[in-house]
Amino acid sequence: MSALPIVITYVDGSTDDIDTWSALVTLGNVKIDLVSSLNAYGSISNAHQFRYVIIPGAVLTAAINQHINLKDYNQVKQAFNLKD
């Protein structure tokens, strides 16, 4: 598991491809975006799964004060007792 954005580089045939996964978060919405350097995809497959964690402001402040790395999902999962 990794926090977004994430960049994945691989070889497709004989050409390097770079996929960039990112998230756009607005009030009431989470949009996952995939950009391929080779424009290799028409859409994101339903086989992909995403999990997002929304942390209220007061809880976020407490997490920061406890020096929890919010980009490390395992630390967040442990700090907030999240189940797989």
Task: Report domain extents, the chain.
Answer: 1-41, 53-84
Compute the residue count for the chain: 84
User: pLDDT value at position 4?
Assistant: 82
DSSP 3: P
pLDDT score of 33: 87
- Given a contact cutoff of 8 angstroms between Cβ atoms, the answer to whether 70 and 59 are in contact is no
Query: pLDDT tens digit string along 10-64?
Result: 887 888 889 899 988 888 888 888 888 887 777 777 888 888 887 777 777 777 7
pLDDT of 79: 84
Cα Rg of the chain, angstroms: 16
